[in-house]
């Protein structure tokens, strides 16, 4: 759905720009990496899934390449769309921003982001918290992807010179992740007793801050073409938690109990840093 709206948005903008003379278009190719930081708490009486998201700091495990396009109309309206691809080469790291500058340097805008995130070995909690049981009958390793997305609005600052275009925005909005589901089978040692736990996250929108810095530096200029370097730094700062419903069925399907589990708040941040080449026309 996010991709559909992004493409629709891009199509509208390019259509509009085709009929407008005072339009500057640019396209860029970039490489970058993502750093993810998240608090981890000791597991207490319940599983906390956010303890198991991949958070590699700035180790660069979430490296990506991508493309972005940007349109400036009358130096008042600006829109950009970027698709980043991780090792699977699927354009899943999406950023969409639109801006309006009523003043020369000051404006405001809106943004949308979406990116996937791995959650791995999330049942290792049960290895130490299932006395008398075989803690996980599934010997395959667990790794799933959850998709994060958010919408934000806020003020922007832009500085343009002949060789450089720097934009700074600080947006505030709401974010959440898609529903996460998992299933665990356990069996009592020396017994026929079998239990299945189903987990389904109850996601909620939480506020987040999205600061972004983008610098375009002109390097080469001919009569009709301009090439440059693009530097982009964006962050996401929030507090997240992953509450869930745990449905436990003992022996047979209809012997089921349900419990809603409230998890800890985790301080969470993400940094995207990328560098690329840009072509203006």
Partner 1 sequence: MELFKKTLLILVAVFLFKLMNSCCLIFGDCCKNDPLPTSFNNIKISNVDNSKEYDVLTTSNEMKRAAVAFNVNVFDTNYYNYYSYAKSCSFGFSQAYAMECENPFAVITRINCISITTKYDINSSIKAGEEVVNHFVAKTEFWSLSGLYSTVDDVLDNQRGVIYEPWLDIRFYLKIPVENNIAQFDFQIFMSDGSVISDSTNLISIVD
Return the number of the residue (160 or 198) whose C-beta is nearest partner 1: 198
Q: Answer whether 154's CB lies under 8 Å from 109's CB.
A: yes
Compute the distance between CA of residue 106 and CA of residue 122 in angstroms, rounded to an integer. Answer: 45
Q: Give the residue carrying structure tokens 């959650």.
A: 119
H or E stretch at 136: none
Is 194 near partner 1 (CB under 8 A)? yes
Residue whose structure tokens are 């665990």: 184
- Under rule CB under 8 A, residue 252 binds partner 1: yes
Q: With CB under 8 A, what is the number of residues at the site for partner 1?
A: 18
Give Cβ neighbours of residue 40 (< 8 Å, ≥ 6 apart). Answer: 51, 55, 266
User: In the complex with partner 1, which residue's Cβ is closer, 128 or 192?
Assistant: 192
> Of 241, 243, 174, nearest to 206 (Cα)?
174
Per CB under 8 A, the list member of 187, 197, 198, 239 interacting with partner 1 is 187
Residue 202 or 249: the one with the smaller Cβ distance to partner 1 is 249
Rule CB under 8 A: which of 51-90 touch partner 1?
A: none
Q: With CB under 8 A as the contact rule, which of the stretches 49-57, 118-126, 165-173, 251-259 interacts with partner 1?
A: 251-259
Nearest approach in angstroms of CB 186 to partner 1 is: 10
Which residue number, 190 or 224, has a Cβ lying nearer to partner 1? 190
First-to-last CA distance in the chain?
A: 30
For 79, 121, 196, 280, the CA distances from 182, given in Å and listed in that order, are: 38, 11, 11, 47
204 binds partner 1 (CB under 8 A): no
Q: Count other Cβ atoms within 10 Å, centred on residue 186.
A: 19
Nearest residue (CB) to partner 1, 121 versus 134: 134
SS3 264: coil
Query: Footprint of partner 1 on residues 110-169 (CB under 8 A)?
Result: 134, 137-139
User: Residues 16, 37, 147, 185: which binds partner 1 (CB under 8 A)?
Assistant: 185
- Residue 80 near residue 99 (C-beta atoms within 8 A): no
Q: Name which position in 190, 222, 224, 257 contacts partner 1 (CB under 8 A).
A: 190
Nearest to 126 by CA among 196, 65, 69, 210: 196
Nearer to partner 1, 133 or 153 (CB): 133
| Smaller CB separation from partner 1, 197 or 239 | 197
Tell me which of 161, 253, 257, 258 binds partner 1, using CB under 8 A. 253
Task: Please identify which residue in 41, 121, 205, 251 interacts with partner 1, judged by CB under 8 A.
Answer: 251
- Position 192 contacts partner 1 (CB under 8 A): yes
Q: Which is nearer to partner 1, 192 or 222 (CB)?
A: 192
Number of neighbouring beta carbons within 10 Å of residue 225:
10
For residue 193, state whether it binds partner 1 (rule: CB under 8 A).
yes
Greatest distance between any 2 Cα atoms in the chain: 81
| CA distance linking residue 140 with residue 133, whole number of Å | 18
**Applying CB under 8 A, which residues contact partner 1?**
134, 137-139, 185, 187-194, 196, 249, 251-253
């Amino acid at each position: 759905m996010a991709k559909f709206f992004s493409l629709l948005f891009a199509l509208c903008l390019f259509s509009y720009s085709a009929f407008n003379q005072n339009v500057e278009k640019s396209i860029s190719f970039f490489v970058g990496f993502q750093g993810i930081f998240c608090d981890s708490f000791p597991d207490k009486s319940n599983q906390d899934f956010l303890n198991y998201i991949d958070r590699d700091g700035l180790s660069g495990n979430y490296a990506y390449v991508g493309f972005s396009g940007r349109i400036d109309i009358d130096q008042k309206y600006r829109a950009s769309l970027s698709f980043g691809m991780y090792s699977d080469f699927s354009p899943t790291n999406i950023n969409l921003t639109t801006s309006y500058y009523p003043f020369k340097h000051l404006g405001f805008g809106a943004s949308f982001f979406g990116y996937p995130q791995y959650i791995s070995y999330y049942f290792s909690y049960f290895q130490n918290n299932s006395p008398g049981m075989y803690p996980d009958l599934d010997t395959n390793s667990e790794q799933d992807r959850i998709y994060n997305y958010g919408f934000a609005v806020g003020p922007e600052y832009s500085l343009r010179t002949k060789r450089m275009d720097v934009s700074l925005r600080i947006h505030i909005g709401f974010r959440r992740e898609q529903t996460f589901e998992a299933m665990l089978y356990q069996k009592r040692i020396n017994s026929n007793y079998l239990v299945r736990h189903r987990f389904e996250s109850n996601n909620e929108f939480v506020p987040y801050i999205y600061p972004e810095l983008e610098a375009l530096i002109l390097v080469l200029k001919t009569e009709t073409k301009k090439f440059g370097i693009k530097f982009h730094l964006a962050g996401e700062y929030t507090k997240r938690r992953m509450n869930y419903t745990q449905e436990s069925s003992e022996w047979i399907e209809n012997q089921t109990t349900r419990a809603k589990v409230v998890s800890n708040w985790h301080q969470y941040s993400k940094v995207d840093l990328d560098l690329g080449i840009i072509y203006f026309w």
